[in-house]
Structure 1
Amino acid sequence: MIDLRLVRENPDLVRASQRARGADESLVDQLLAADTARREAVKRADDLRGEQKSASQAVKKATPEERPAVLERAKALAAEVREAEEAQRAADAALRAVHTRIPNVVAAEVPPGGEDDAVTIRTVGEVPAYDFQVRDHIEIGEGLRAIDMERGAKVSGSRFYFLTGPGALLEFALAQLAISRAVAAGFTPVIAPALVRPEAMEGTGFLGEHDEEVYRIERDDLYLVGTSEVALAGMHGGEVLDLAAGPKRYAGWSSCFRREAGSYGKDTRGIIRVHWFDKVEMFSFCAPEEAVAEHLRLLQWEEEFLQALELPYRVVDIAAGDLGTSAARKYDIEAWFPSQGTYRELTSTSDCTTFQARRLTIRYRDADGRNQTAATLNGTLCAIARTIACLLEVHQRADGSVHVPVALRPWLGGVEALTPGMTLVAPVPPVPA
């Protein structure tokens, strides 16, 4: 949630953020009204409790003649206190209802506009040229016996798949490479649960406007996560963190599930946009004043990973109207897909400021020992299925083989290329330097 003090002191800033997002600006006034009503309800309940306490003291001091009237007044006050406390609970609920509908305040540097208005910050690597007819990743993957969409659909429906043989080994190799690089950068590796309670989903901003994207297990009132960000954020819900030594960083691996509602006809061929995939996600808790620098560090680690995979890409600054609920700013990295002749999103990183931590009551102690709300940030290090698709396309060769980037070779038995009909080789862990 956004800071109520910010709304009280600078409502025009929040209104401007709502306009930039294309969101309902009137929610700001509704929030201010609900905040005023709640404060009035709190004051009335406090005042009545004070009167009730005085009345209780008066009963003790009353003469026999005064006692009936004083007791009657104390009894009436008790009823009024109960009503006032109920009114306060209702005011609390009304305030939270509107408070949770307002997304994070957009950072001042974010470009205006919508999905088509992202600003390219830099382009890295040369777009490859091919002297043969380019294939898409499905044709390449089927030739390598690495991807089986037909049987995936038979077993689970559309947008499901099997990774087989070299495809399965590619998944393991990418996961190992991503986790090993994250650990070297100081992240704690985590295998995160893929099922979470509603509090974690709401706390990270994935319910409300986005609930159509989410799979829900109604019988158990649990949700399948679309990213391990949800579990990693919820892991420290209600806690006070020690951030004296700097940001607390996790690299979470989990399976991810997305309904992809409304995406029909968009990247539906192959394994670019699917209902299930595995992902390595970076997540950071830090002091709010460190969040901007931490955001750039997450972006740097993402770029270094794609450079290790020898993929050409561009970094884009996402426009306000295309930001998620929790993000104040977001960078996407789009890698080149030869079959489409364009760049497509491969990773992203978001600065959520104190928005998620305020919902989840995640705090830290400042230099004076006072509890403050932490900032949270997330960044995809490797969305594995989509990365496999990109690797197969960028590194394809005329004979149907695929070049293996040097960084991946230790996790693929040292092979330099994936070839049709190849004999699988057991991975060999890298030798420490």
Structure 2
Amino acid sequence: MLDVKMIRQEPDEFKRRLGTRGVQPEEIDNLLAEDKKRRELLNRTEELKRQRNDVSGQIAQAKRNKEDASAAIAKMREVGQEIKKLDEQANEAVELVNDMAARLPNLPNETIPVGPDESANVELRKVGTPREFDFEPKAHWDIGEDLDILDFERGAKVSGARFVYYKGMGAKLERALYNFMLDEHEKEGYTEMITPYIVNDASMFGTGQFPKFKEDVYQLQGQHMTMIPTAEVPLTNYYRDEVIPTEDLPVYVTALSPSFRSEAGSAGRDTRGLIRMHQFNKVEMVKYTKPENSYEELEKMTANAGNIMEKLGLPYHVITLSTGDMGFSAAMTHDLEVWMPAQNTYREISSCSNTEDFQARRAHIQYRDDNGKLHFVHTLNGSGLAVGRTVAAILENYQNEDGSVTIPEVLRPYLHGATKITK
């Protein structure tokens, strides 16, 4: 969450930078107007509390002198009632200001491209060369169904659209992938965790999903509990309301988890295949760092995701997202997009973001410097990788003309030496 005090000090700067993310100037003006009312109410309340203390002293003095204190007592009661009324108004004002501030996205880093949407994204680098096929490559959903390792029809029957059954070698391939990913991340210094898959509202607020994006998730009816959209939520909230010992920073954690997303607003997009599912597995990376190291750590995290791609032999490119395409909590995001032959294009498979202190402010995650002063940490998160999309990429990039799929060499030890998936 953004610091309202800083917005108050530099309103034009916040209007300029948040304007690149679609925030209208009047949103800042309205926030500052409500913040002014809040501060006036708090000042008035403090003034009345001082008056009450003075009157209390007068009453005590009158009683000691055995004088009539009824007028002072009546005045104190009147002041007390006014304080109670103003306290209620101030609490409402505080809640309103906090809610308005919580709906503002993070400030974008000054170096990222400015633009309204993905058309303004900038490619940083290409890695690997897309394969030249001497036959017409098939889409991964057709390959999976032909090999009888993916069953979308029964997934839809049992749960609805955007659900799937993995079968046989399909299930084994998915399992091999996430075990491989976790093993690689362990080599890079990440501590593996198994997290809760259901979290409370405070956790969803901490990472920025609430209050603005409730429609994008699955909530348990009648409870303030949500099925996680990504392991970023429980991993980042692990240290919520805590002070991390300075000597422990940076902290690297990783986890495999299912991710549950309602995909609100995605009607008609990626209706076939594994790209946009309501339930999918993902290996997530999260870092807690000191502010001065966070952008170096972002580049490392992006390289950690790229390492998986390179060892799997999947062509990809890295792009920096524009202000209009970036996620709500991010200050800078690098996306890794894998080459999908059947679509003849790159598709997102990992998103690595530095949120700076945006999430740490919401979740109250701090550390002490060498002088004992408290600071907010910077938090980073990235997919390492989205497992279903990686399955899709392997099926398309490693397909053979006879309908079989060659298994990438690094996965063969996880599949008891199998080299191909055949019908």
Pair in the same fold by TM > 0.5:
yes
Q: CA deviation at 1:220?
A: 2.1
User: Could you tell me how far apart the structure 2 residues matched to 1:173 and 1:42 are?
Assistant: 58
Identical residues among aligned pairs (%): 37
Q: Which string of whole-angstrom CA distances, capped at 9 and with x for unpartnered residues, describes residues 257-284 of structure 1?
A: 1111222222221111111101110011
User: Could you tell me how far apart the structure 2 residues matched to 1:245 and 1:415 are?
Assistant: 41
User: Could you tell me how far apart the structure 1 residues matched to 2:413 and 2:48 are?
Assistant: 72
- Does structure 1 retain, via aligned residues, the 8 Å contact 2:280–2:388? yes
The within-5 A match list for 1:71-110 is 71-110=73-112
Q: CA deviation at 1:66?
A: 4.1
Aligned position for 1:123: 126
Aligned position for 1:430: none
Aligned position for 1:11: 11
| Aligned pair partner of 2:197 in 194, 199, 208 | 194
2:87 match: secondary structure: helix
Aligned position for 1:28: 28
The within-5 A match list for 1:230-379 is 230-379=233-382
User: Could you tell me how far apart the structure 2 residues matched to 1:57 and 1:362 are?
Assistant: 42
Pair 1:57 & 2:70 matched: no
Q: Which string of whole-angstrom CA distances, capped at 9 and with x for unpartnered residues, describes residues 183-205 of structure 1?
A: 11111111122211122112211
- Does structure 1 retain, via aligned residues, the 8 Å contact 2:15–2:23? no
- Does structure 2 retain, via aligned residues, the 8 Å contact 1:364–1:372? yes
AA aligned to 2:218 is: Y
1:253 match: secondary structure: strand
Instruction: From the superposition, tell whether residues 87 and 219 of structure 1 become closer, same or farther in structure 2 (CA, over 3 Å).
Output: closer
User: Could you tell me how far apart the structure 1 residues matched to 2:70 and 2:128 are?
Assistant: 88
AA aligned to 1:106 is: P
1:126 match: secondary structure: coil
| Aligned pair partner of 1:111 in 103, 110, 113 | 113
Q: CA deviation at 1:246?
A: 2.4
User: Could you tell me how far apart the structure 1 residues matched to 2:54 and 2:339 are?
Assistant: 74
| Aligned pair partner of 2:174 in 171, 176, 183 | 171
5+ unaligned residues in a row in structure 1: which ranges?
Answer: 421-433
Q: CA deviation at 1:170?
A: 0.9
What is the aligned length? 420
Moved more, 291-300 or 2-11: 2-11
Q: Which string of whole-angstrom CA distances, capped at 9 and with x for unpartnered residues, describes residues 9-34 of structure 1?
A: 22222111222112222111122222
5+ unaligned residues in a row in structure 2: which ranges?
Answer: none
RMSD over aligned CA atoms reads 1.5
AA aligned to 1:29 is: D
Question: Could you tell me the TM-score, scaled by structure 1's length?
Answer: 0.94
- Does structure 2 retain, via aligned residues, the 8 Å contact 1:179–1:251? yes
- Does structure 1 retain, via aligned residues, the 8 Å contact 2:291–2:356? yes
2:45 match: secondary structure: helix
Q: CA deviation at 1:6?
A: 2.3
The within-5 A match list for 1:32-43 is 32-43=32-43
AA aligned to 1:41 is: L
Pair 1:182 & 2:185 matched: yes
Question: Could you tell me the TM-score, scaled by structure 2's length?
Answer: 0.96
- Does structure 1 retain, via aligned residues, the 8 Å contact 2:156–2:163? yes
Q: CA deviation at 1:35?
A: 2.1
- Does structure 2 retain, via aligned residues, the 8 Å contact 1:111–1:118? yes
AA aligned to 1:418 is: I
The within-5 A match list for 1:150-229 is 150-229=153-232
The within-5 A match list for 1:409-420 is 409-420=412-423
Poorly superposed stretches of 4+, deviation over 4 Å: none
User: Could you tell me how far apart the structure 1 residues matched to 2:206 and 2:216 are?
Assistant: 16
Q: Which string of whole-angstrom CA distances, capped at 9 and with x for unpartnered residues, describes residues 23-65 of structure 1?
A: 2221111222222222222222222222222221221111333
User: Could you tell me how far apart the structure 1 residues matched to 2:189 and 2:377 are?
Assistant: 19
- Does structure 2 retain, via aligned residues, the 8 Å contact 1:144–1:166? no
User: Could you tell me how far apart the structure 2 residues matched to 1:74 and 1:221 are?
Assistant: 42
Q: CA deviation at 1:208?
A: 4.0
- Does structure 1 retain, via aligned residues, the 8 Å contact 2:112–2:332? yes
Instruction: From the superposition, tell whether residues 30 and 289 of structure 1 become closer, same or farther in structure 2 (CA, over 3 Å).
Output: farther
Q: CA deviation at 1:412?
A: 1.0
